[in-house]
Amino acid sequence: MIHEKMLIGGKWVESKKGDVIEVINPATEEIFADVPLADKSDVEDAVNAADSAFLSWSRLSPFERGKYLRKASELVLKRSKDIARVLTMEQGKPLAEAEGEVIKSANILRYYAEEGERIYGRIIANEEPDFESMVIYQPIGVAAAISPWNYPVELLAWKVGAALAAGCTLVAKLPSETPLSPLAFIKCLVDVGLPEGVLNAVTGPGSVIGSVLISSPIVKKIAFTGSTEVGREVLKGSADTLKKVSLELGGSLPMIVCKDCNLDAAVSGAVRRSFRNMGQICIAINRIYVEREIYEEFIERFAQATKKLVIGNGLTDKCDLGPMCTLAGVKKTITHIQDAIEKGAKIVCGGKRPEGSKFEKGYFFEPTILRDVNHSMLVMQEETFGPLVGVMPFDTLDEAVELANDTRYGLAAIVFTQDISTARRLCRDIEAGNVAVNNVDAGVINAPYGGWKDSGFGFEHGPEGLYEYLHIKHIRIRYL
């Protein structure tokens, strides 16, 4: 049994009450680890530690802060295989995917080490002679990061990289389902000598830890990634202390496939982005709209390619897909399938647990494609966050845009077309913070990533992600 501790004020500690949270391997349903279950007072300690560390950290030059991030990035790369192993054990994704996530997280630290050196101000001419305005950026103070279990290392790395590079100190609330891999990532920062209190990590129930962080007058910024429902609570709770909040929330990603597209690329993109990480990605494809002339061919080829995906235990098997991370996720996927079937949808492939003795335990589920879907169905309106996608035909671009925009979400969209005017028009008219054209990954570390509508606001990635942790100050000078 693995046991890990929390990080408060540079020390690895238990919760004061000694309670723990158990960690389950979703491929075997075995409890294989536990971590402390923090209560209010543990979280207050973490906030106070971050507060004590703030002044000296914020006054280091960005070049000095960058040195820690660069060293930590190298150490994460060195330990990537070990971190990936524990990530697969607690989250379920295949080992190669887990290692990819850890490597990306190392790159994020390096990127923000560099971006931190590029926090420039501005000099602005004034109308009156001998006056000048100066705009400078200063770290906002103690920040808190709350993130989910689907990419537990990467989503934390976005926040750690940007906050620390900006000169903020951070309290990270780690996901209860997958606390071990983020703790292993954080250990790399500690082991390169990050000053005490600059980064703190607590584990425990979201409602308890969240409410301390959200209501604390010391915490000046909350970076939240998670569901729209909890995001809304975070925003409401932050009103009393008027915190800066960024909310990276749920999505329902539409893919529009036009008849002039490269169909091979569209099909392989659809398979990858619908089912990677068992669809447990905020920018997983939930809905596919295909121009009617190629609807049948697309469905046939999409199903053929999907059936070739190999499901297995990500730790021991060579596979494309592992189990889902939680039993609740499997149940939600089944609910969305049943709802669609009751309303007239048909299963093209999947729709059940895989057969065979090796799938008796574990939260496994077959990647599932539905056809004959419509917008009265949950699958076409709500985020399943599971390996499920609905495919429906369209006749005109206006109709495709209307369908794509017909949900409360606006995180990202995907378009496949070879016609530049069609691409340009769809990019303009789709209500989403990110649009990928002829590729299926709308997120890159040096470009801003954020949602519209119920997918939240604020940014991660890019300089915009860094500015989330900075105050703007205008200084007006008169030269006497």
Report whether 155 contacts 185 (CB < 8 A).
Answer: no
Going by C-alpha positions, the residue among 442, 446, 444 that lies closest to residue 114 is: 446
What is the bridge-based pairing of β-strands 409-410 and 346-349?
unpaired
User: Residues 6 or more apart from 112 whose CB is under 8 A from it?
Assistant: 69, 161, 162, 164, 165, 465, 466
What is the residue whose two structure tokens read 């697309």?
298
Which is catalytic among the residues 168, 261, 282, 319? 282
Nearer to ligand NAD, 411 or 432 (CB): 411
Minimal distance in Å, beta carbon 146 to ligand NAD?
5
User: Judged by CB, which is closer to ligand NAD: 282, or 294?
Assistant: 282
Looking at beta carbons only, is 207 or 421 nearer to ligand NAD?
207
Distance of closest approach, residue 386 Cβ to ligand NAD, in angstroms: 11
Which of 248, 291, 366, 383 is an active site residue? Answer: 248
For ligand NAD, the closer CB: 149 or 394: 149
* H-helix or E-strand spanning residue 21: strand 20-25
Partnered with residue 36 across adjacent β-strands are 20
Query: Phi/psi zone of residue 207: left (φ > 0), alpha (ψ -120 to 50 degrees), beta?
Result: alpha
**Nearer Cβ to ligand NAD (393/448):** 448
Chain positions contacting ligand NAD, by CB under 6 A: 146-150, 155, 173, 175-176, 206-207, 210, 225-227, 230, 233-234, 248-251, 282, 383, 385, 411, 451
Query: Which tokens sit at 387?
Result: 């390996």
**Shortest Å, Cβ 449 to ligand NAD:** 7
Closer residue to ligand NAD (CB): 88 or 384: 384
- Cβ 231 to ligand NAD shortest distance, Å: 7
* Min CB(400)–ligand NAD separation in Å: 23
By the 8 A CB rule, do 441 and 327 touch? no
Q: Which of 184, 190, 186, 248 shows the shortest CA–CA distance to 222? A: 248
**CB of 260: closest distance to ligand NAD in angstroms?**
31
The C-alpha atoms of residue 108 and residue 144 are separated, in whole angstroms, by 18
> Is residue 282 annotated as a catalytic residue, yes or no?
yes
Q: What are the E-state strand segments in 169-325?
A: 169-174, 199-203, 219-225, 244-248, 253-257, 285-291
Active site residues: 248, 282
